Chains A and B, each alone.
Chain A
Amino acid sequence: MGHTASSFEELYLAFGAQVRDGGAVAVPPELVGEDLGAWFFANQRGECLVLESLGCGAPDPKLRAVVPSLVSSIASASESRKFRYIPQVPNNPGWKALVGRFPQAEGAIYFGLLTKAPAFGGSSGGCEKLGQSVAEGSVVRRAIFADESGSQETGLPIGEETGGDSPAMWKFVGLLLRALWGCHTQTSLLQTRLRHMKNEHQVLRASQAAAINEAIEERDKRLREQETHIEQLQRVMMLAADGIFIANEQGFLESFNEQARRIFGYKPEEVLGKRISLIFPELLAPTAGPEATHTVLKSLEGGLREVIGRRKDGVSIPIELGVSRVWLGDRWVYTGIFRDITQRKQSEETLRRLHLQNQMILDAAGEGIVGLDTSRRIVFANPAAAKMLGWPVAELVGRFWHETVHHTSEKGDPLPRDACAMCAGLFGDQKLICGHQTFWRRDGSAFPADYTVSLMVDRGRCTGAVVTFRDVGEKLRLEAHLRQAQKLESIGQLAVGIAHEINTPTQYIGDNLRFLREGFEELQDLLKETAQLVEIFPQDGPKGSAEKSDLEAFDSTKILDELGNLKRVVQATDLDYLLEEIPQAIQQALEGVERVTKIVRSMKEFSHPHAGQKQPFDLNRGIESTLTVSRNEWKYVAEVVTDFEPNLPLVVCFPDDINQMILNLVVNAAHAIGDKVKKNPGQKGTITVSTRRDGPMVEIRIQDTGMGIPEKIQSRIFEPFFTTKEVGRGTGQGLAIVRSIVVDRHGGTIDFQTQEGVNTTFIVRLPIEPLGKAPSVGTR
């Protein structure tokens, strides 16, 4: 509770300072003797307290108690600008004694109310404070002091004139003492302030120390955390799966982890502090200067590169190294992370060699090899393919296979994908496809090609296809030539026989004609005589008048003569003979011509080059002509029996080939029988040729009653160049050609049945209509 104050004084008063107890006690002058002084103490209101009255008896004990705290410091008074005082110490014997009694006092003011002059005394201590050396005991005559505002000096002679109890003097005293009070409080305040400052200082220091401690602790904590963190990082680095080194800017190794040790074989202590040239001799020379080191290390920065490392045992190993430059807070270091790539390099080398091998194989292959992806684009082509197709390899890649190479049929019509046999089969179910198609070159020319497509399958999925192909144009041309040559050869071989065949009829045609000539010559005379006889009769007699009567007009002698001549000639001529023989001769001659004509026709038919296209063909007739043409080959050793199915449908085929085939088979049959007849002469064999229709096929059987085919060569008879005939008698191509014609060219079948020593039958089946150009089916 307490009560409120509106001034400091009130405040002080409120809590009852000692001052309050004091009133003003003035010492009446009359009580003060000469040389007596009185110490006054005044409060702020100017009320005075007498402290001591020398010579007035014992000092007031109450007052005395206050004095120690009354430190009147003249010096501080002057500092506080309250007043300036120049003391003059009174020459008073009691002065010393008084001062002696208050040794704590820094100074004292002795205000002596002497009769004439009040005196102020300062102790030597107080005077010294002012920097004045004042002799002890000198009299203060004047007080010079500033008034309360501190701005003026007032020299006031004190009491000289006035003396006694004057209000002015007391006012002055009051002023002075007020000033003293100020001093006093100032000093004590100073002390208090000093104390306060010490306290402040202490407490601040303590607080700051606490703050500093806190800061230190926090920093320590952070450092510890950092250390832990660093430790962890170091552990990570040490145990990493790749080799790690750290080198400083001069290239000296500062850190080397476990894996690095394993790779290089060095223990860390053997390597730390050494230059990195120890393990990477190529990178940096051991004696390289800082400039060079810096350049090298800097150039390694960023990206991986392959370098050669050197192990402790001196072996060089390929290393993949990545270097980075790191700022560690106070300097730069280089961190290298690396791995041993020996294995990888070996694999790379192997791969490279394999690749090279593959490349060489592809390049060297004579066949065209082309790879397609699942969208049917060309992804690679070997040189042979490029050459055959007339494109540079680089331009082939990326193009669509079908549109580039078999966009048109062999007839010249555009061939869309869906109609293209190869495309139809591509990426279908079949893994392997063979076929034949027309391929077109870049320049617009074409060639026939045999191709094989095989699919590439990776883990069950189709990833592409490989097409190998061959230009069979040449082959086909050769084949055609060969066939033609063979045909001509056959014809050549048959020529002698045919010559024979033609010769015989030609002979008797000649004979018959010669007979006719003789006969005619004989008949000539007869005809002449007859003509003469007729001449007797005039040509133009009267019409219808040549009757009996007219007969008498003629000369009968002439007539009789002529008749007689005629009779003679008739008798000379063997007319009956001639009349019988001449028609016969004519008939035979005509037959002979017929014969020749037939042979010639057969030859024509046989050797007529049909266009290289399949055509509907009358098989029976073809067989007939072939038999005719080859007659000479078989007529001596066998009879030929034909058993043709009537109305056999026309077979779409290559007529030349079929004729060739029949010829070869018939000739073989004839030779087979020939061998038998040689052993058993006198007995002719039989060649039976029959044709039948069997569903979509026609069946041709050619049977001979020859030696048969021995078992051990039965599997070989169709082989090219295989022959059982002696040298000079056929080249062994016959059956091979037959098979080629039947199977390859016509899609038919050929088979044989044989009984050794008895007979052999060859059975050829041909499709009446060819089954499109369907590719033959390969194995799954």
Chain B
Amino acid sequence: MGNAGFLAAEAPPTLDRVLARIDEISTLPQVALNVMEVANDPRSGAADLKEVMETDAALSARVLRCVNSSAYGARERITNLQQAIAYLGLKQIRNLAITASVSELFRGADAIGNYSRKGLWRHCVAVGLCARLLAMRRRIDQFEDVFLAGLLHDIGIILEDQHVHGHFRRVLAAMESGGTFPENERQILGFDHTILGGRIAEKWRFPESVRTAIRYHHNPSGYKGQDLTTLHCVQAANAICTLKGYTAVGVKLADSFQEAILALALTREDILVLAEDLDQALAEHALLFQI
């Protein structure tokens, strides 16, 4: 794709073309897809996840490194996946695995103004952790699923960066003139990262809640389904992280999220505390950023 010719006014490819391009290059590592599938299947157990992960030794090693970090407070050193799964649970190990895998997408490339892949990755991890924290504090059982939704909600952006790079740069440039990121996307590309992300999520068979988060995190009122809670968590986390400076594209502008607050029965203190604790949480999981 390259950086060349972003000023050229060639017509952007259609959404389908972009999808096709992505397909050719099969961006997401197979192991991540496999892990996703295993985790989706309610009949699968620890042994299945272990089996899938063992195919990628490097991945397993990274996951184990994370597990042994202070973030999880294991008393003894955990040396194999079985132990890890027994200690942290299937979902959490899944999440670690997917995080480790997806991080591959964000490697390399220089910054474009305030945007950088590294920064985008930080945003994704932060939103994931924040959303998880939020879910835990609201006593939502599926907090690990919420993490995944938070982690992957902006996947559309990195895909745009990779596959329609020239036009992506134009979008970033246009941000200086104002408007939100999705608005500029739609203007220049004809679609935004939620639409692209949503289609990819379908293709790659992400869990339902993750797909919802990707598709509707800028437009929650458009969604009427059963994963509303997850969506709200992701929304709130997105805003909090952005305001804290962990921005997606370098712009510190957050959607307000009144319905989310109401729906989650959040008080100001809740948010405040969360915002404060977020820094610490991010520090604890620092390994994930470099993962």
Contacts and interface: CB of A to CB of B under 8 A. Distances in A.
B86 A12 contact: no
A199 B254 contact: no
Interface stretch (B8-16, B121-129, B132-140, B155-163): B132-140
A215 B141 contact: no
A195 B266 CA distance: 12
B141 A203 contact: yes
B29 interface: no
B45 A5 contact: no
A9 to B, nearest CB: 11
Interface stretch (B62-70, B182-190, B203-211, B273-281): B273-281
Interface string B52-89: 00000000000000000000000000000000011011
Contacts of A202: 139
A211 interface: yes
A15 B258 contact: yes
B143 A192 contact: no
A189 B86 CA distance: 34
B261 interface: yes
B256 A196 contact: no
Contacts of A195: 137
A199 B273 contact: no
Contacts of B141: 203, 206-207
A214 B258 contact: no
Contacts of B135: 203
A211 B272 contact: no
Residue of B144, B272, B275 with most chain A CB atoms under a 10 A cut-off: B272
Contacts of A14: 256
A214 B46 contact: yes
B47 interface: yes
A156 B261 CA distance: 43
A208 interface: yes
B89 A208 contact: yes
A199 B136 CA distance: 6
A203 B140 contact: yes
A5 B272 contact: no
A6 B140 contact: no
Contact of B139 (A5, A17, A199): A199
A182 to B, nearest CB: 12
B90 A5 contact: no
Interface string A210-236: 111011001000000000000000000
A720 B35 CA distance: 109
B133 A2 contact: no
Contacts of A6: 243, 252-253
A334 to B, nearest CB: 33
Contact of B86 (A7, A192, A196, A211): A211
Contacts of A17: 268
A192 B139 contact: no
Contacts of B143: 203, 207
A200 interface: yes
Interface string B239-257: 0000100000000111111
B272 to A, nearest CB: 6
Contacts of B277: 193, 196
A11 B256 contact: yes
Contacts of A776: none
B202 interface: no
B176 interface: no
A4 B88 CA distance: 38
Contacts of A192: 267, 269-270, 272-273
B256 A2 contact: yes
Contacts of A4: 253-256
A11 to B, nearest CB: 7
B243 A203 contact: no
Contacts of A191: 269
Contacts of A218: 45-47
Contacts of A189: 269, 272-273, 276
A212 to B, nearest CB: 8
Contacts of B258: 2, 15
Given A189-B273, A203-B143, A211 B88 contact: yes
A191 B269 CA distance: 9
A207 B144 contact: yes
Contacts of A193: 273, 277
Given A14-B256, A185-B272, A189-B272, A200 B136 contact: yes
Interface string A175-191: 00000000001001101
A188 B267 CA distance: 11
Residue of B136, B275, B276 with most chain A CB atoms under a 10 A cut-off: B136
A362 to B, nearest CB: 70
B253 A15 contact: no
A210 B89 contact: yes
B138 A11 contact: no
A135 interface: no
B272 A8 contact: yes
A307 to B, nearest CB: 45
A190 to B, nearest CB: 8
A204 interface: yes
A344 interface: no
A11 B137 contact: no
Nearest to B135: A203
A207 B138 CA distance: 14
A200 B254 contact: no
A3 interface: yes
B89 to A, nearest CB: 3
A203 B91 CA distance: 14
A208 B45 CA distance: 15
A3 B139 contact: no
Contacts of B253: 4, 6
Contacts of B47: 218
Contacts of B139: 199, 202-203
Nearest to B86: A215
Given A5-B243, A15-B261, 17 more contacts: A2-B258, A6-B253, A7-B243, A8-B275, A14-B256, A15-B258, A192-B270, A192-B272, A196-B273, A199-B137, A200-B137, A203-B135, A203-B136, A203-B143, A210-B89, A211-B88, A218-B45
21 contacts: A2-B255, A5-B243, A5-B254, A5-B256, A8-B272, A11-B256, A14-B256, A15-B261, A15-B268, A191-B269, A192-B267, A192-B269, A192-B273, A196-B137, A203-B140, A203-B141, A203-B143, A207-B144, A211-B90, A212-B86, A214-B46
7 nearest interchain CB pairs?
Answer: A211-B89, A2-B256, A192-B269, A196-B137, A200-B136, A192-B273, A193-B273
